[in-house]
Amino acid sequence: MALKTAQEYVDSLRELKTRVYMFGEQIENWVDHPMIRPSINCVAMTYALAQDPQYKDLMTVKSSLTGHTINRFTHLHQSTEDLMNKVKMQRLLGQKTASCFQRCVGMDAFNAVFSTTYEIDEKHGTNYHENFKKFLIYVQDNDLTVDGAMTDPKGDRSKSPSQQSDPDMYVHVVERRPDGIVVCGAKCHQTGSINSHWHLFMPTIAMKEADKDWAVSFACPTDAEGMYMIYGRQSCDTRKLEECASVDVGNAKFGGQEALVVLDHVFIPNEYIFLNGEYEFAGMIVERFAGYHRQSYGGCKVGVGDVVIGAAALAAEYNGVEKASAVKDKLIEMTHLNETLFCCGLACSAQGCKTKAGNYQIDLLLANVCKQNVTRFPYEIVRLAEDIAGGLMVTMPSQKDFNSDTVVGRNGETIGEICEKFFAAREGVSTEDRQRVMRFLENMCLGAAAVGYRTESMHGAGSPQAQRIMIARQGDIEGKKQFAKEIAGIE
């Protein structure tokens, strides 16, 4: 089957019977809902760019499984060049959407589960790797969007899955049948879950024998019976429901999406099971997925950062201060921080290595260093953007005020005319353009887009402490001590 177009992707979502809830009610036409549609537009961009000859080499690739031309988001990395192209592709999409385009988690899950299932089969004689290859070929041939679902609610985090008072705090097997398993539980903070055709579930922590019912990985369609989503709120999200608020929204076309994904006795056929009780491999899936996903942030957040820097530069220009040395220095610092993140994404890719299964894995230490920097640098980039923009970014009257014809002035001036007068930009720049860049920056720094840039930079792909644990594990302090001993002459 040919690569999907953006419109074919949107149309394919309409064929699903996905259960979506928001504000306590079921949303029947979620594809066209004003709060959800911007996130669908983001995913659609991954399809649109794959159809553009200008980006063909970056967005598409030959499948290692079939030889067919596929979207890179469904690809198994075959070289360090593939790993670097992944990061470059993510930066491009960040530049095009200024938001989260949601297919990264599926791509990272594909590569983690592919290599891990090979090693599970090698030890246990299972058939998980063949199951997964067949599933991935189906995904590639149909150009599907798949959500990689890892994060469980966790409940009492001092306790393991088997020790929880409520076993549903981690996704687990509640029944094993000859033809498959029945699972319960939930995954939270799920990026792009509603916009995906399928979900690929994985464990979220390393496990012991007592937790083997929670050591499970599988795929299921997004509209599977017993599965539903509760949409997550974002700052300023209801502005999208207001009439004539395209300026106030900030980024009216694109946006991110998170949801709680609930599994209420969902049946999973054997052919879609990739881990079922082999608890000693739960940690391997987690570590590999986390490594790939922490690499991803060296691309996607850099692309969004490019847009933040551009918007801040525009705000400075519209305010008439673009030549001030302090402003120039702030823009230089923002660029320096952003490009440092890109360097990290490329470095962990260039130092990647081949797995037993044949696909390529990033350098885990450098991937965690990359994400550790992502937990810090976007916050400083946002701080500098807010500094350059000024207070108007958060105090400006609404678009309705700018459009109002209510008379308030002594000489018959309307509210709209008063706003137009006192919020005028430098000569040659319209007041509306100044409005737009301020609201756009508000959206990027504080609003709905901040979920996919600032806050997600902190918690996405694991909290800062999760990376520090991996850095400690991968940092080889003993080896470094030996270097020092040899040079210092210590026996």
Catalytic residue annotation: 100, 104, 191, 258, 293, 297, 300, 456
418-452: b (≥16 Cβ within 10 Å) or e: bbbeebebeeebebeebbbbbbbbbbbbbbbbbbb
Please, which residues have CB within 8 angstroms of residue 72's CB and are 6 or more apart in sequence? 50, 58, 59, 60, 61, 85, 86, 89, 107
Nearest residue to 315 (alpha-carbon basis) of 251, 386, 253, 255: 386
Question: CA–CA separation, 11 vs 462, rounded Å?
Answer: 33
Among all chains, which residue has been given the structure tokens 């097997």? Answer: 173
Q: How far is CA 324 from CA 328, 333, 436, in A?
A: 6, 15, 22
Report residue 79 as tokens. Answer: 């070289």
Report the 10 Å Cβ neighbour count for 454.
Answer: 20
Question: CA–CA separation, 341 vs 296, rounded Å?
Answer: 11
Question: CA–CA separation, 147 vs 107, rounded Å?
Answer: 9
Q: Which residues pair with 186 in a beta bridge?
A: 262
Largest CA distance in the chain: 91
Report residue 87 as tokens. Answer: 């990061």
Contact call for residues 103 and 4 (beta carbons, < 8 A): no
